Amino acid sequence: MEIKSGESAAILGTSGSGKSTLLGLMAGLDTPTSGQVIIDQVALSTLDEDGLAVLRAEKSGFVFQSFHLLPNLTALENVMLPLELQGSRNAQQPATELLSRVGLAERLQHYPNQLSGGEQQRVAIARAFVTRPTIVFADEPTGNLDAETGRMIIELLFAMNRENNTTLIMVTHDESLASQCQRIFVLNNGVIQENAIE
Amino acid sequence: MQLNDIRLAWRLLLCDWRAGELGILVVAILIAVASMTSIGIFTNRVEMAMNDQTSRFLGADLILSASQSIDPAINTYADQLGLRQSDQLVFSSVLIANDQFQLSEVKAVDDQYPLAGTITIAKQSYADTQIVNQGPAKGTVWLSNRLLDRLQVKVGDRVELGQASLEVGAILINDPGQASSAMSIAPRLLMNLSDVAGTQVVQPGSRLKYRYLFSGPSSDRKTFANWLKPRLLPTQNLIGGKEGSPALNTAMDRATQYLSLASMLSVILAGIAIAMAANRYSTRHLDQSALLRCMGATQRTVISLYSWQLLIIGIIGSAFGCLVGYLAQQGLVLILADFIPGNLPTVSYAPFITGFLSGVITLIGFALPALLRLKSVPPLRVIRKEILPLPISSLFIYSLAVSAIILIMWIQSDELLLTVIVLSGIALCAFLMLLMTLLLIKLSQQLEPYLHGPWRSGLQQIIRHRRSNRLQILSLSMALMILLTIGLLRTDLLERWQTQLPDDAPNHFIVNIQPYEVEPLKEFLSVESVESTGLYPMVRARLTHINNIDVVEAVPDKAKLDQSLKRELNISWTDKIQQNNQVIKGQWWQPSTTPENLISVEEGIAKRLNINIGDQLSFKTADRVFTGEVSTIRSVQWDSFQPNFYFIFSPGSLDGYPMSYISSFYQPDNKKDVTYQMVRRFPGLTVIEVDVIMKQVRLILNQVTLAVEYVLLFVLLAGMVVLVASIQTTLDNRIQSAVVMRALGATKQYIRSIQIVEFGILGLLSGLLAIMATEIVAFFLYQEVFRLEPAFHPAFWALAMVSGALLVIITGIFFTRKVLRTPPLRLLKN
C-alpha cells in the first residue's frame, strides 16, 4: 500500500485482524519480520531504535483509543511535552494555541481525570499536532467515546488534518468513520485490500 | 540537550510529586540519611571531645614513657614535624621537713608543662584554688595536701629533697597525668626539672620514669605515632590519642560500632522500601515511558530523564535527611547530656558528607534497576498494552543493592573485611528469619478451612500477597527485634541488678590498709558500729608462669592480651570460702589440715587463661617468686561489692610477703562523716565511694540505653516505611477488589474488618518472630556476656505481638484509606 502526502487513509478490520499491529509497523513503533515500510524515501528498516525515535519526533503525531494522557500532567503540560522533549524552550505558547483551537482554552490547568472522555481526546489531538507532524497516526480514536462525542472528535481530527496539511492514517472498525477518509484499506485474514470509495 | 533533560526531568518530577508518587522514596531516603547522619555526627563529636578530654587528662596528646632516656632522634623527628614537647622525670624520694620523713612521688617538669590541660593549685590549705598553665618555678616545689599534713609544713616553708632545700610554693590540688591507678597513692610533689640535678637523688641505678610529652595537630601526631611505634623498645610505652584510656575507648568503639550497625540496618531497610517504591514507580510509568518513546524520545533521553529524576530525588531527600539527622543528633546530645564529657566540639562536615553520599548511593543501588526497566519499554505499548519490557536480571538487581550497601559501610567504617563480615551476619540472620516467616505463613494457612467471613478473607489476603508479606514481616520483625532486645536488656538487666543487690550492699571500699592498722581499724569500725565485710589480706603479684611455662606462652592465643597478664593482681588467702563465692570444681581446703600453697581460681579467669585443677601457678612480687597448685575453681559474684579475688591461697602460704589489707563496708548517706573521721584517723587509707560510682554507672547505663533506643527508632521507622511501601504496591489491586466487593454489596465495615484481620495477622506474626529472635539473642547475651541465668519473658511476648499487631493495623488502615474512600462508580467508570 502506498499513501501520498496529505491523503487520509483508513484501515478497516475486525477485532484481532492485526490493524493496530500494521499501524505500529507503519509508525515505526515496531519492526516487521519481513517487508518494508518507507516514509519520505527512508526505509524504516535501515534505521536503528534511535533513528526511529528521531523520525517519530520529527514526522509523526499519534492519537490513541485510550487517549494516553499522562495522569499527573495538566492538559497544557501534556500538550507541551512533545515540544519539550525536542528541546523547545517555548512550548507553552503553541500548546496553548492548539488547546484553544480544540476548544479547551478554559481547561488548560485541568488534569486528565478532571476532563471528560471527549475532552481528553481533544487534548490528545492537540498533542498530536503540536509538533507540526507530516503524518498523524490514529488508533481507533473514537473507540472509547459515545457516538455523538466520537463524531465531534472525528470532525475535529479531519479539520486539523486539513488545516495542517498532514497525512492521516487511521485504524478503525467503524465503516462510516472509514468512509470519511479518502482511501480505505481492509485487513482481512492477513491480506490488505484497498476498497474503492463509492 | 542535557540541560533540557534536567529541566524536563524536574518538571515531570514536580508533577509526580504533586500526585504523591514520590512520598515513599523521599521518606525512605530521608530516614536512611537521617539515621546515618545523626549517629555519625554524634559519635564524631563525642570522639573528638574524648580525645580532647584525654589530652587534658594526660597533659599532652601523646606521652612516651620509658625507663631510660630516649634516643634524641625521636625528639629531632618530633621537632621536624613541629610537635610541641615537654620532658618529665618521675621518681620516688624521701622528703624531709621538721624532722619528719615522708616517701613521696616526685614529678619533675620543665617549663613547657603541661602541653594540654591545666594545673590546679592553692596558696593555703582549704583556700580557694587557682588554675595555672605552668609548673613550679626553679627553686620551688608544690606539695599535695597529704604531704603538707604529714610533714606539717605550709606554703612558704622549706623542705629538703636529697641535697637540695626547696621552698613550698603552693599546694598541688590537681595536675594532668596524675596517678595512673587508685592503688598507688603516695603523697605527691611537683618540682622544676632544672632542680633535679641539685638534689643529687638521681644516681645511676635509681628507679626512674622518663616521660616525654608531645602535642600537635592530629595529622602530625598520627604521623609521629606511626613512625614511633615500630621503633619502641620493650621498656618504652606510648600512650595518648586513641590509646589514652583503653577501657573508655573500647567501650566507645563498641558503642560506635553498635550504633553504626543499627544505622546500617535502617539503611538496608530503607533500601528495601526504596526498591519496592521504585518498582511501583516504574510500573506506573511504563505508559509514560512508552509514550515518551512514541513521541520520539530516544532510549538515551528516557534513561537520562529518569536518572536525573532519581538524582534529584536523592539530592533533595539526602539534604533533608542531613537536616533531620542534625536535629535528631541534638536530641541525642540532650538525652546524654550528663554522660558527655564537657562541651561537645562543633559539628564537623564529615558525617554530613557520609550521610549525604550514603543516601544517594542507597537510592541508586536500590532504585536504578527498576528505572532502567523503563528505558526498555517498547513504544508499541501505546497500542498494545500487554507488551512489557524485559525484566531486569535479578542477579543485577541484587548485586547492585549489595554493592551499594558494601560501599556505604566501607565509607562509614573504612574497614572492608569487617564490613563484609557484618553484612554476612545480617544476611544470615535475615535468611534464618525468612525461613521462620515462611513457616509461620505456612502454618497460618492451615487455619483457613476453620475460618469464616472477614477472618477467612483477611487470611486469604495474606496468602495472596505472601511474596510481599514475607518481606514486610521480615523487615518489621528485624526492626522490632532490635528494639525489643535493647528494651529487654535495659529493663531486665537493671531490674535484676537492683533486686540482686541487697539494700545494705557495701558501698565503700578501703584499700592500702597496712598490717599495723588492721587492729586499730577493726576497733574503729566496731566503735562506730560500721559493719564491714571483714579485712582481707592481699599481696600484689604478677602471674608469671603456668606449669613452669611462661604465662604468655601458656595461655590460649586470644588471652595473650588479657589485662590480667599485664598488671599486678591482688592475691589473698583465707581458710573459709567467702560469701558469694561458690566452689564449682574441686574441694575447698579443710581449715586445720590444709597444706600450704593450694590455690582457688575464679572461674572466669580460669576459663580465659585455660587454668585447670592441678596446674602449678607461679607469681612474682617485687623480686620474689612463689608457686602453688590449683585445687579449686570458684564462681564469684563480682557485683556483690565485697572484696573479691581472682586467686586465693590456702592460709599460711604467703606469710612474710609485703602485704596490705582490703575491706568494704556499708555506710548510709546520712553517716558519711564516719568516713571522713576514718580518713583523718588513718590518713594512709584510700576510701573509694562505690555508691557514687554505682550511681554514675546506673545513670550512664540508663541514658545510654535510652539513647540507643532513640537511635533505633530510625530502624523501626525504616521498617514501617517498608510496610507502607509494600502496602502501596498492592494498593491498586486492593482498590480494585474493594470496589468490586462494594459493587456486589459488601459494606465498608465488612471490607475494613478484612483489612484489620489481614494487618493484624501480619503484625502479630512480625511481633511473634521478633520476640522469638529476641529471646534467642538474649539467651546468648545472658549466658555469654552478662553471665546471668537466662530467663523467659512472657510479658515481652505479649507486648511484642500486641504492639506489632497495633502498629501494622494502624499503619495499614491509614495507608489504605483510599480503598474505602474511592466511590465504586468512579473506578468502574475508569
- Asked whether the beta carbons of residue B295 and residue A82 sit closer than 8 angstroms, the reply is yes
pLDDT for B244 equals 43
Give the tens place of pLDDT for each residue, A131-143: 999 999 999 898 8
Q: Which residues of B touch A30 (CB under 8 A)?
A: 378-380
In this structure, what C-alpha cell is assigned to residue A38? Answer: 518507507
Residue A197 predicted with pLDDT over 60? no
Residue B391: partners with Cβ closer than 8 Å, 6 or more residues away: B373
User: How far apart are the C-alpha atoms of A136 and A167, rounded to whole Å?
Assistant: 6
Size of interface A-B (CB pairs under 8 A): 87
The pTM (predicted TM-score) of the whole model is 0.69
Q: Do A62 and B294 touch (CB under 8 A)?
A: yes
User: Nearest-CA residue of chain A relative to B18?
Assistant: A72
CA distances, B690 to each of B237, B338, B642, B696 (Å)? 31, 19, 11, 10
**What are the CB-based long-range contacts (under 8 Å, 24+) for B220-227?**
B220/B81, B220/B82, B220/B83, B221/B61, B221/B62, B221/B83, B223/B81, B224/B62, B224/B77, B224/B78, B224/B81, B224/B83, B225/B62, B227/B77
Is 60 exceeded by the pLDDT of residue B247?
Answer: no
Q: How would residue B418 be classed by pLDDT, with cut points 50, 70 and 90? A: low
pLDDT band at B826 (very low <50, low <70, confident <90, very high): low
pLDDT at A126 over 90: yes
CB-based contact B296 A49, cutoff 8 Å: no
B648: pLDDT strictly greater than 70:
yes
| Domain map (residue ranges) of chain B | 1-57+249-414, 92-208, 436-506+684-830, 532-665
Interval B199-236: pLDDT, tens: 888 776 667 788 899 988 877 888 888 888 888 877 77
Query: Cβ A20–B383 below 8 Å, yes or no?
Result: yes
For the stretch A151-161, pLDDT in tens is: 889 999 999 99
According to DSSP, the β-strands at A8-12 and A167-172 are: parallel
Cβ neighbours of residue B113 closer than 8 Å, sequence gap 6 or more: B59, B86, B88, B134, B135, B213
Give B339's Cβ-side CA count (13 Å radius). 23
Pick the more confident residue, B595 or A50.
A50
Name the residue among B15, B298, B382 with its Cβ closest to that of A73: B15
B341: pLDDT strictly greater than 60: no
Greater pLDDT, A106 or B444: A106
A8-195 CATH fold: Rossmann fold (3.40.50)
Residues of B in contact with A62 (CB under 8 A): 294-295, 382
Q: SS3 for B240?
A: strand
- Residues of B in Cβ contact (< 8 Å) with A143: none
Output the average pLDDT for chain B: 81
In chain B, which residue's Cα lies nearest the Cα of A87? B4
Q: Between chains, do A53 and B298 touch, taking CB under 8 Å as contact?
A: yes
**Cα–Cα distance measured from residue B496 to residue B690, given in angstroms and rounded to the nearest whole number:** 19
pLDDT digit string, tens, across residues B127-183: 678 888 889 999 999 988 778 877 888 889 999 888 889 999 998 877 776 543 333
| Intra-chain end-to-end CA distance of chain A, in Å | 19
Over residues B105-129, the pLDDT tens digits come to 888 999 988 888 888 888 876 667 8
Contact A72 B16 (CB under 8 A): yes
A151 vs A135: CA distance, rounded Å: 21
Q: Which residue of B has its CA nearest to A90?
A: B4
Enter the C-alpha cell of residue B562.
588479657
Chain B positions in Cβ-Cβ contact with residue A112 (cut-off 8 Å)? none
CB hemisphere CA count around B188 (13 angstroms): 18
| A112-121, B514-523, B559-568, B597-606: the lowest-pLDDT one | B559-568
Residues B540, B568: Cα–Cα separation, whole Å: 6
CA distance A138 to A152: 15
Cell of B456: 477467612
Task: Please state, in angstroms and as integers, the Cα–Cα distance from residue A158 to each residue in A164, A179, B479, following that order.
Answer: 10, 12, 62
The number of angstroms, rounded, from the C-alpha of B594 to the middle of its chain's C-alpha atoms is: 46
Of B4, B15, B301, the CB nearest to A77: B15
User: Closest partner residue to A29 among B18, B288, B380, by Cβ?
Assistant: B380
pLDDT band at A105; cut points 50, 70, 90? very high
**CA-based nearest distance A82→chain B, Å:** 6
Q: How far is A136 from chain B (nearest CA, A)?
A: 12
Chain A: residue whose CA lies nearest to B2:
A87
Complex ipTM: 0.86
Q: Is the pLDDT of residue B617 over 80?
A: yes
Question: Which DSSP string do the residues of B350-364 spell out, in sequence order?
Answer: HHHHHHHHHHHHHHH
Enumerate residues 673 to 712 of chain B having a beta carbon within 8 A of any beta carbon in chain A.
none
B759: left (phi over 0), alpha (psi -120 to 50) or beta: alpha
**Do residue A20 and residue B384 have CB atoms under 8 angstroms apart?**
yes
Joined together, the cell numbers standing for residue A133 give 507532524
Distance from CA of A114 to the nearest CA of B (A): 12
With beta carbons under 8 A apart, name residues in chain A contacting B298. Answer: 49-50, 53-54
Residue B407 CB coordination number (10 Å): 17
pLDDT tens readout for residues B734-769: 888 888 778 777 788 888 888 899 899 889 988 998
Question: Among all residues of chain B, which has the CA nearest to that of A61?
Answer: B295
How distant is the Cα of A21 from the closest Cα of chain B, in angstroms? 8
Arithmetic mean of pLDDT, B425-453: 82
Give the residue on B whose Cα is nearest the Cα of A25.
B380
Point out the residue among B19, B294, B384 whose CB comes nearest to the CB of A56: B294
Taking the CA of residue A84 and the nearest CA in chain B, the distance in Å comes to: 7
- H/E element, B509: strand B508-513
For residue B698, what pLDDT is reported?
66
Low-confidence winner among B272-286, B312-326, B505-519 (lowest mean pLDDT)? B505-519
Q: Which of A21, A24, A57 sits opposite B295 (nearest CB)?
A: A57
pLDDT of residue B695: 66
Write down the domain spans for chain A.
8-195
Per-residue burial over B225-245, b if 16 or more Cβ lie within 10 Å, else e, is beebeeeeeeebebbbbbebb
* Cross-chain Cβ contact A50/B383 below 8 Å: no
Average the pLDDT over A21-49 and give the result.
88
| Max Cα-Cα span within chain A | 48
